[in-house]
Structure 1
Amino acid sequence: MTSQLRKRSPRPLRSAVAALCAGLAATLCITAPAWADQDADRNAGHPGHVWSVSGPDRAAAAHEPRARVSLDATTGTLSLSVTRADRTVIEPSPVGIVTEQADLSKDLRFLHRKDRLVKERYRAKSGKRLDRRVLMNETRLSFATPTEARFDLVIRASADGVAYRYVLPAGHGDVLGETSAFNLPPDASAWLGTYRVDNEGQFNQYTAATAPTGEYSDQALFATDGGYTLLAESDLTGAYSGARLAHTQGTGTYRIKLADDRVHTDGTLATPWRAMVTGDLATVTRSTFTDDLAPASKVADASWIRPGTVLWTWLAGGREAGQSLTAQKAYVDYAAQRHWPYEAVDAGWYFKADEWDTTDPNWQTDSWLPELVDYAHAKGVGIIVWIHQRDLDTPEERAQWLPTLERWGVKGVKIDFMNSEAQPMLQWYDAILRGTAAHHLMVDFHGSTIPKGIQRTWPQVMTLEGVGGEEKRTNTAAHLTTLPFTRNVIGSMDFTPGGFQRVGQRPNSDAAEVGLTVAYESGLQMFAGTPESYDTRPLARDFLDQIPAAWDDTRLLAGQPGQEAVLARRSGDRWFLGGVYAGAARTAEVPLTIGPGRWLVETIRDGSEGLVQDRQVLRGGDTIGVDVVANGGFAGVACRWHPGLTTCYR
């Protein structure tokens, strides 16, 4: 009996061992997918250490970006490169940071590595889609200098991007700069915006090497043989300093330059993510990578945050309208008639505040704004108000204004003229974000930074300017067709489309102006036209009545930066289409890649005597043909067709 038991025991033991090994192998595939790559890369002839990090989806590995971090055995310097399908995305580029206490860019030695899977799900209040899923591999590499100064380089990789950041322990002193840079092939196509403190520079096309010497916005788009890559930043707070790109003509190198010569730190530090949104153009355009990298929402109850379309009165009536209660009531009446949920009172009303004695406890009674808010509320319209940053600059000013606006019933604030990404201004952002969340005020930042993940962490931020928008008289049609692939990729953009009255002051046609309301995403989509300009264009006006400001999905149907951009955005069971073009008149041919089945498609285009609406029934995957005038465009809406259906409008 004993001998029989001994003969039988190895089989279940072997099975258990096999199961255990299989389980361990599966775990290693999830938590440490790149260990094997390290040895393979080292044996391929690279001196020193090489680590490879890619996304968790092995089935799609050939199409996903892969980061390689190399430590040079001689100099102790780090570099990072990115490939996609073994093709170049980013060439080996320097990685490092310098503090008061240590130069963490050279003479480094490797300590250890840690891997984990980042898997999250969250729901946004605005953006390209509301439901978000995050799936990334994270690798943390720890290094030390000869003096035992230490830091971690944290790399994340997903299906649509690669990012890295530095994590430093306490006691490192102030940050004096980064050696971080991005090396692009010199002949890579580049779409760059000259840096401005208000982020309102136009985007122009160069090659990586021919771009003039200067500083550029850190939202820069490049095309290499590995596809498209948008450089970006995420999780920027007052703990650090904003970044821009410094370039010298003749090279493909774009260095990270901070807004501050010295970044003051206290305790441990995690720098912002240096992000590379990577893939084909459709992947980059619909990516939420910079939001996905950012911390989770700090607003526990977000039920009061409601995106919507807005009648914006600045380009419609100017400061004079802002100084007149009668004029503002008329705008509210128009918004109510159109069922637009908000009206924005811009500069004008607020300049009268210079005469108010805010030390008087009854100072708020001097304003007619509470009366306007009550009037609008009775008609189902919420009020957004403009306010200058200088009057929210101190804790005392914020303690005066924010509770007052909440008590009056104001729904949101448009805060203007920050014009800086230096650390003190970023610390102000931290304070105003906490304050507006506490007082249930949605936010539109103008003269501002760009989103950089802020809308995930603080979902009351519905939109930011940071763009050469409708107010500009120097915009080009090429600039308008580049924005969906650059600025608007990383978050809501308050371009304020719909300025139909600005004929001769804008570079596009009326149909293109309608199309911008879909092509450009904004949680508060502010329409810049006058009531008269809408009423003389009833097709445009009625289309604007249909537009939501929150989307369930976004797809790029056709596009090439600087030439054309056609986006489809879904709300419920309807897809809205927005197309903008630069250049000569043409018949645009756009694939209807919004799903199988039959669709009723209603489009608005430019005709010889004004806007024209066309209706046709198409199958998913068919091509929409639309006549487009020079520097023109179109707008449209598509819904599931069934016999008897004559319109998608509701």
Structure 2
Amino acid sequence: MKYKIITIALSIFTVLQTVKAQTKYEISSPDQTLKVNVFLKDQQLLYTISKNGAQVLNTSTLGLVRTDEDFSKNLRLLSVSKNETVKDIYTLKNAKRLVNNYLANKRIIHLESQSKKKMDLIFQVSNDGIAFRYYFPDRDANVKALSEEKTSFHFFENSKAWMQPMSVAKTGWEGTNPSYEENYKKEINVGTPSPTQAGWVYPALFHYKDTWLLVSETGLDGNYCATRLKQNSPDGNYQIGFPDQREAFTGQNVNPESSLPWYTPWRIIAVGSLKTVTESTLGTDLAYPAKSNINPDQFKLGKASWSWIILKDNSIVYDVQRRYIDFAADMKWEYCLIDADWDRKIGYEKMQELADYAKTKNVGLLLWYNSAGDWNTVKYTPKNKLTIKESREKEFAMLQKMGIKGIKVDFFGGDGQSMIKYYLEIFEDAAKFGLSVNCHGATLPRGWQRTYPNLVTMESIKGMEFITFEQDNANEEPAHATTIPFTRNVFDPMDFTPMSLNKLPNINLKTTSTFELALPIIFHSGIQHLAETPEGMAKVPAYVKTFLQEFPASWTDTKLIDGYPGKFVVMARKAGNKWYIAGINGENNAKEISFDSTKFGKKGKLILDGNEDRSFVQSDLTSSTNTKIMMKPYGGFVMVIE
């Protein structure tokens, strides 16, 4: 018996010594092309990423700092789980792909702080990228708070980046920032400081040698704030930052707080070719599944007419909105959006008349709301209707009774945890009353459209609205529109409110009409709020009108055919047995693209720019293994093939 005890003790000692000696733990993708190495060095947790055996992310830091304990240093490894396969199959109408298959390898690293408090690090590696998050497994009803997240993404010095600066809180028109509405810095050297001290927004795109990496986050619930990348990134090392302390729901917290146990959101990095990254669904793969009390089939995706984008405030009157309801009906679009001040300029009683009229036309109405609160000074109404649950539910019940189909909520005040809770409360309460939600002046959705199927879209981009305001934004549109399919719009729906086929008041559009026609295909949004007017639509050829009447609101698949951020993009989206292929040229020189169209069907129609300004030309198309299309400077094309 004595010798047996000694043998067992020696075995335990050997195992412990092996754990102590092993400094690196590897998690590989199912196809073995992508590898993460996680290791402790000087009691600090670090990681690297390799693709096809070559390192593509330099040594980067991990860890969290809680106000009651520092989990970024003096860490001790307790154990590391075995590799586990994670599988998930889900359907999502409001996405680039209807049926999504997620397959990854998972390992959990169990750690202990200096005072023996526990933290786990959970890694999942799929063929298209890496995801990880932190977990505090202890049970404690007392609220814990985080003061800093040490997670970083350390890129090699010859990498390039496409990034959007984060606007500073309380700046901009009526103090409405941040709204994720800045122009991208394109192909800049990593390590370039953000022009604002607020840092950079997600998703952030990086290119190193022949590998692309897209950094973002998902799985954000009410237990955390939305994060960003800090302003300064010495040696190309970008650290996660928390919001400005002014980015709060009135009088509440910004930094993350929670009782234990506590999961953080997922940090995700899509890795691979530009095609792999652009087609990735990591942003929804790791999002929480749909809330069990929300029926996805209750909320209809579609297209909407919208007067305000071109006609502005004076259009929010009864007669104009009735005309835009007729416009939506004529275009076979599902919705008409009625914007700010409708309660004062039209009123609830007359809005009921419009809702009843729209119903006879098979058009649903969407109504604008001010998010209210003390985070901005915007005077537009309805205001002060949504901040308190009782008032919010009373308003939503009234809208449901009126037959209103959805709301657009504008001018949110930032990314603090309390503000994130406010977003989620609006989504959940609106769903109870059958209302879809669109947010403007807002944060990045971060996979929320999967969790809350009534969330149809969010702006979170410098869109068409800004092009109508200033010539500089119109000048930037070609490069901007060819950047965001690879950044902002990769994982989440985006309400750019695209498409001006003719002219804008006081603005010289740089893009051609076919460039504009391609945008509703290239940009994904659960509801496309289209900028064109009834008068503008009357000027286009019948085949363009037919195309806009028939193009779908939901896709079963998406493929990137070709492109380069800021220069051009060619995207294919499938609905039924048809593929909708669209291309836009972001540069001021003609560009020929070629691809194998036989992969998408046998024959179809092609719409190109005509010889005259703001004109179109349509031709029949027979598929070829070498289909060649010439895009004009700042031009585009649209193809429907089956």
Same fold (TM over 0.5): yes
**CA–CA distance in 2 between the matches of 1:265 and 1:568?**
43
Mark the structure with the bigger radius of gyration: 1
Specify the code of the residue in structure 1 equivalent to 2:364: G
- Tell me the residue number matched to 2:279: 286
- Tell me the residue number matched to 2:296: 302
- Tell me the residue number matched to 2:504: 502
Matches within 5 A, 1:277-426: 277-298=270-291, 299-322=293-316, 324-351=317-344, 366-390=348-372, 391-426=385-420
**CA–CA distance in 2 between the matches of 1:577 and 1:544?**
14
Specify the SS of the correspondent of 1:111: strand
- Tell me the residue number matched to 1:201: 182
The structure 1 residue matched to 2:237, chosen from 248, 253, 278, is 253
| TM-score of the superposed pair, with normalisation by structure 2 | 0.86
- Runs (5+) with no aligned partner, structure 2: 1-14, 168-177, 246-253, 373-384
How much has 1:601 moved relative to structure 2? 3.6
**CA–CA distance in 1 between the matches of 2:232 and 2:47?**
20
- Tell me the residue number matched to 1:589: 593
Matches within 5 A, 1:177-192: 177-192=148-163
For the Cα contact (< 8 Å) 1:599–1:620, is it kept in 2? no
**CA–CA distance in 1 between the matches of 2:508 and 2:312?**
16
The structure 2 residue matched to 1:105, chosen from 72, 76, 89, is 72
**CA–CA distance in 1 between the matches of 2:563 and 2:77?**
44
How much has 1:137 moved relative to structure 2? 1.5
How much has 1:542 moved relative to structure 2? 2.9
For the Cα contact (< 8 Å) 1:606–1:629, is it kept in 2? no
**CA–CA distance in 2 between the matches of 1:100 and 1:408?**
49
**CA–CA distance in 2 between the matches of 1:629 and 1:178?**
47
Q: For residues 463 and 606 of structure 1, do their structure 2 counterparts lie closer, same or farther at Cα, with a shift above 3 Å needed? A: farther
How much has 1:540 moved relative to structure 2? 3.7
- Tell me the residue number matched to 2:226: 242
Percent of matched pairs sharing the same residue: 29
- Tell me the residue number matched to 1:644: none
Specify the SS of the correspondent of 1:414: strand
Structure 1 residues 378-401: Cα deviation after superposition (integer angstroms, max 9, x where no partner): 111111111111131111221221
- Tell me the residue number matched to 1:604: 608
**CA–CA distance in 2 between the matches of 1:618 and 1:143?**
61
**CA–CA distance in 2 between the matches of 1:304 and 1:555?**
28
Matches within 5 A, 1:386-535: 386-390=368-372, 391-473=385-467, 474-475=472-473, 476=476, 477-500=478-501, 501-502=503-504, 504-535=507-538
**CA–CA distance in 2 between the matches of 1:595 and 1:565?**
18
How much has 1:537 moved relative to structure 2? 1.9
**CA–CA distance in 2 between the matches of 1:366 and 1:418?**
24
**CA–CA distance in 2 between the matches of 1:488 and 1:589?**
22
- Tell me the residue number matched to 1:91: 58
How much has 1:486 moved relative to structure 2? 0.1
**CA–CA distance in 2 between the matches of 1:176 and 1:629?**
52
**CA–CA distance in 1 between the matches of 2:287 and 2:185?**
29
Matches within 5 A, 1:59-70: 60-62=31-33, 65-70=34-39
**CA–CA distance in 2 between the matches of 1:191 and 1:594?**
33
Q: For residues 223 and 484 of structure 1, do their structure 2 counterparts lie closer, same or farther at Cα, with a shift above 3 Å needed? A: same
Q: For residues 352 and 334 of structure 1, do their structure 2 counterparts lie closer, same or farther at Cα, with a shift above 3 Å needed? A: closer
For the Cα contact (< 8 Å) 1:84–1:226, is it kept in 2? no
**CA–CA distance in 2 between the matches of 1:620 and 1:53?**
42
**CA–CA distance in 2 between the matches of 1:564 and 1:449?**
26
How much has 1:352 moved relative to structure 2? 5.1
**CA–CA distance in 2 between the matches of 1:147 and 1:510?**
65
Q: For residues 512 and 189 of structure 1, do their structure 2 counterparts lie closer, same or farther at Cα, with a shift above 3 Å needed? A: same
For the Cα contact (< 8 Å) 1:88–1:224, is it kept in 2? no
Specify the code of the residue in structure 2 equivalent to 1:442: S
Specify the SS of the correspondent of 1:327: helix
**CA–CA distance in 2 between the matches of 1:52 and 1:272?**
22
- Tell me the residue number matched to 1:561: 565
How much has 1:369 moved relative to structure 2? 1.2
Specify the code of the residue in structure 1 equivalent to 2:275: A
- Of stretches 79-88 and 338-347 in structure 1, the one that deviates more from structure 2 is 79-88
- Runs (5+) with no aligned partner, structure 1: 1-38, 354-364, 640-650
**CA–CA distance in 1 between the matches of 2:417 and 2:536?**
43
The structure 2 residue matched to 1:615, chosen from 612, 619, 626, is 619
How much has 1:219 moved relative to structure 2? 1.2
| TM-score of the superposed pair, with normalisation by structure 1 | 0.85
- Tell me the residue number matched to 2:251: none
Specify the code of the residue in structure 1 equivalent to 2:201: S
Q: After the TM superposition, list the runs of 4 or more consecutive aligned residues in structure 1 that deviate by more than 4 angstroms.
A: 211-214
Q: How many residues align?
A: 577
For the Cα contact (< 8 Å) 1:488–1:521, is it kept in 2? yes
Specify the SS of the correspondent of 1:448: coil
How much has 1:61 moved relative to structure 2? 2.4
For the Cα contact (< 8 Å) 2:294–2:432, is it kept in 1? no
- Tell me the residue number matched to 2:215: 231
Specify the code of the residue in structure 1 equivalent to 2:158: D
For the Cα contact (< 8 Å) 2:461–2:496, is it kept in 1? yes
For the Cα contact (< 8 Å) 1:342–1:381, is it kept in 2? yes
How much has 1:258 moved relative to structure 2? 0.9
Specify the SS of the correspondent of 1:498: coil
For the Cα contact (< 8 Å) 1:241–1:423, is it kept in 2? yes
Structure 1 residues 22-56: Cα deviation after superposition (integer angstroms, max 9, x where no partner): xxxxxxxxxxxxxxxxx9xx99xx97521111222
**CA–CA distance in 2 between the matches of 1:506 and 1:460?**
34
Q: For residues 91 and 405 of structure 1, do their structure 2 counterparts lie closer, same or farther at Cα, with a shift above 3 Å needed? A: same
Q: For residues 268 and 226 of structure 1, do their structure 2 counterparts lie closer, same or farther at Cα, with a shift above 3 Å needed? A: farther
**CA–CA distance in 2 between the matches of 1:594 and 1:304?**
37
For the Cα contact (< 8 Å) 2:558–2:574, is it kept in 1? yes
- Of stretches 482-491 and 134-143 in structure 1, the one that deviates more from structure 2 is 134-143
How much has 1:283 moved relative to structure 2? 1.1
